[in-house]
Amino acid sequence: MIKNQWYAVLDSKQLKKDKLIGVTRLSEKLVFWRDENNEVNCIFDKCCHRGASLSTGKIINNHVECPFHGFQYDSSGKVNYIPANGKNSKVPDRYKVNAYLVKEAYGFIWLWYSDEQIEVPEIPFFEELKKGFSYGGFSESWGVHYTRAIENQLDVVHLPFVHKSTIGRGGKTLVNGPVVKWKENLMTFYVKNENDNGQTPEKPNAIQEYDKLFSLQFQMPNIWQNRISDNVRILAAFAPIDEENTHIYLRFYQSFIHTPGLKQIVNWLSATMNKVILHQDRRVVLTQLPINSELAMGENLVQGDLPIIEFRKRRDLLKR
């Protein structure tokens, strides 16, 4: 996993008021809760006393109370009450667990994954989706490293095979380009797939007016969007659970229906249709070996895999 990045790790709706939620993300056991101002907090989900999971405890005065012997933790991960020692005893500093920097934005909970104290940048999100869109979605876990799940969404070669009956209809097996452009850590890739009439695929830099082509975007480290049109987008966030599992949040965004009730129905129905497509992917991606991807791993890639190659290179660069 790449350090010093904001990762989308939970859907805001998962985190209800007055409820602890325990999940594994980025290979760490974490407990999340909201305080009285609705601010999100996150600390390590293992009591420093005798190792019980804090997420099965409860929230008392904005603190997490361990279910085993009642130690109470604040949002900085410090214990400030040990019932067995009495309320007038001072708690030594060593009674603490890790706390994580978390923020809520755009309907997600984001976690700043780092072990350094550095200046934290803004949360990266697709600019157009910040205003005017509503969405519906669902989420599910896949037994793959998040690199494999992400690369599947950067793969413009698989469409006529995996999605033969849905979005890959028409047998456009020949892949021109694709053209890949970066703006900081945001990748835009432009797709020009065609029927194979014996022509040679165009090289990425030979494609004229590529910006008029259909395009998709990936924002490092873990969000993706399909720019179906100005008003319709599919968004996915790939929350790393650990080295072998990923939780995927898939959303349908639209900005043309605003009628309450109707828009929820349309968003939900469209998200459900996209589940069918995602499950076509899942069937194949779960079989890929090895379970994660690396820059140099001996795969025999083709020209059409350029967005995947670019993703691997960027990960490699950010890991340094």
- To Fe ion, the closest distance from the beta carbon of 152 in angstroms equals 6
User: Judged by CB, which is closer to Fe ion: 102, or 180?
Assistant: 180
Q: How far apart are alpha carbons 99 and 299 in whole angstroms?
A: 39
Q: Residue 153 belongs to what H/E stretch?
A: helix 146-153
- To ligand FES, the closest distance from the beta carbon of 70 in angstroms equals 6
Q: Which does 103 bind (CB under 5 to 8 A by kind): ligand FES, Fe ion, none?
A: none
- To Fe ion, the closest distance from the beta carbon of 158 in angstroms equals 6
Tracing tokens 């599947």 back to the chain, one arrives at 152
Q: Is 141 in a helix, a strand, or coil?
A: strand
List 2, 47, 159, 180, residue binding ligand FES (CB under 6 A): 47
**What's the DSSP call for residue 126?**
-
Q: Which does 250 bind (CB under 5 to 8 A by kind): ligand FES, Fe ion, none?
A: none
Question: In 3D, which of 314, 146, 130, 316 has the Cα closest to residue 241?
Answer: 146
Q: How far apart are alpha carbons 318 and 187 in whole angstroms?
A: 14
User: Does the protein bind ligand FES through residue 236 (CB under 6 A)?
Assistant: no
Of 49-57, 122-130, 185-193, 266-274, which part binds ligand FES (CB under 6 A)?
49-57
The answer to whether 226 and 234 are in contact (CB under 8 A) is yes
Q: Which does 50 bind (CB under 5 to 8 A by kind): ligand FES, Fe ion, none?
A: ligand FES
List 50, 169, 313, 319, residue binding ligand FES (CB under 6 A): 50
User: Judged by CB, which is closer to ligand FES: 47, or 223?
Assistant: 47
Q: How far apart are alpha carbons 121 and 124 in whole angstroms?
A: 8
3-state secondary structure 219-249: ECCCEEEEECCCCEEEEEEEEEEECCEEEEE
Size of residue set near ligand FES by CB under 6 A? 9
The residue ranges of DSSP E strands in the chain, in sequence order, are: 5-11, 21-25, 28-34, 40-44, 58-60, 63-65, 72-73, 79-81, 101-105, 108-113, 134-142, 174-183, 186-194, 214-219, 223-227, 232-242, 245-254
Q: Residues with Cβ < 8 Å from 37, sequence gap 6 or more? A: none
Binding mask 68-107 toward ligand FES (x if CB under 6 A, else -) reads xxxx------------------------------------
User: Judged by CB, which is closer to ligand FES: 49, or 158?
Assistant: 49
Q: Within 253-312, which residues bind ligand FES (CB under 6 A)? A: none
Kindly report the length of the chain: 320
Look up residue 196 and give its two tokens. 């194979």
Tracing tokens 């025999």 back to the chain, one arrives at 300
Q: Residues with Cβ < 8 Å from 177, sequence gap 6 or more? A: 190, 191, 192, 201, 202, 203, 204, 207, 210, 303, 304, 306
Binding mask 2-41 toward ligand FES (x if CB under 6 A, else -) reads ----------------------------------------
Q: Which does 281 bind (CB under 5 to 8 A by kind): Fe ion, ligand FES, none?
A: Fe ion
User: Judged by CB, which is closer to Fe ion: 167, or 232?
Assistant: 167
User: Does the protein bind ligand FES through residue 66 (CB under 6 A)?
Assistant: yes
Residues binding Fe ion (CB under 5 A): 281
Q: Which does 164 bind (CB under 5 to 8 A by kind): ligand FES, Fe ion, none?
A: none
- To Fe ion, the closest distance from the beta carbon of 162 in angstroms equals 5
Q: Which residues bind ligand FES (CB under 6 A)?
A: 47, 49-50, 52, 66, 68-71
